[in-house]
Structures are given as C-alpha cells and as structure tokens.
Amino acid sequence: MRSAILPLMFIVQRERGYLDPPGVSYLARRLRLRITDIWEVATFYSMIHIKPIGKYHIQVCKTLSCKLLGSDKITQMCAEKLGIKAGETTADERFSLSEVECLGSCGTAPMFQINFDYHENLTPEKVGEILDSLD
C-alpha cells in the first residue's frame, strides 16, 4: 500500500490543487495508513504541495551547479519581478516562487522549472522574457 502513496498524492493534488487535510485523511483511510504516514511523505517531497500554489509554480534550483552559476540572482530577479519572496504566492494567485534542490539538469545550469517545463541556461534576459510570456 505504501508504494501507492506518491501516485495517489499526485492525483489528489491534481484534483484539488494541493494536498489539503481532507485529502490527506482520505488517502490515509483508503491506504489503511496513519495520517502521520501520509504527512511524512507529503512534507518530504517538494513536488507535493501542502498549501495552495499559484497557476505558475516557479521552482529555482539552488543546488551546487546552479548556485555556482547564479541561481541566487535568478531567484532574486523572480522575486523582484513578482513582488514576492521564495516560499510565497502572489496575491492574485498567479505565481508561486520556490527554491528547490537539484532538478537533475545540472549540465544546463542555472535553471528553473515552471509547472512541468524546464528552462535551462538561464540569463537575466531569458528570465525576464520567460516571465513576461506567461499569461
């Protein structure tokens, strides 16, 4: 049953926008696990959202390759342009900004992920263009 936790979390998240407490209770009941078993997994993985996120979730990689090649500047630029800090969502719920561990694209650092799309070899110019292109 435990092997089904992550795929089912994704389904609940897709349906409800994030993994909310009723969703956690539902999964615990269906999988015959404790609620804390579900929360342990949910709080470990950055791709599981335990609070509402914006339409566009910008996840800036902050691990070594990206850090050495300027991820701090990328995060700062996103924060300034969106008017939020990492870990926050804009008031209109369009954008959420997060800093995350390695996304497995170290050879094309610095990079960020917006929803399911990777954007690599980022420069300040590219970041501005990408953010401006989001409707």
Residue from the set 9, 24, 27, 61 that interacts with ligand FES by CB under 6 A = 61
Q: Which residue, 24 or 99, is less far from ligand FES as judged by CB?
A: 99
**Site map (CB under 6 A) of ligand FES, residues 16-55, x = contact:** ----------------------------------------
State the binding string over 82-111 for ligand FES (x if CB under 6 A, else -). Answer: --------------------xxxxx--x-x
For 43, phi then psi, to 5°, come to -85, -10
- In one-letter notation, the amino acid at residue 29 is R
Q: What is the smallest separation between the CB atom of 59 and ligand FES, expressed in angstroms?
A: 10
Minimum distance, C-beta of residue 70 to ligand FES, in the bound complex (Å): 11
Residue for token digits 């950055």? 46
Please give the size of the binding site for ligand FES, defined by CB under 6 A.
12
Sequence-distant contacts of 95-99: CB under 8 A, at least 24 apart: 95/54, 95/55, 95/56, 95/57, 95/58, 95/134, 96/53, 96/54, 96/56, 96/57, 96/58, 97/58, 97/60, 98/46, 98/57, 98/58, 98/59, 98/60, 99/59, 99/60, 99/61, 99/62, 99/71, 99/75
Answer yes or no whether residue 66 interacts with ligand FES by CB under 6 A: yes
**Using CB under 6 A as the criterion, which residues of the chain lie in contact with ligand FES when the complex forms?**
61, 63-66, 102-106, 109, 111
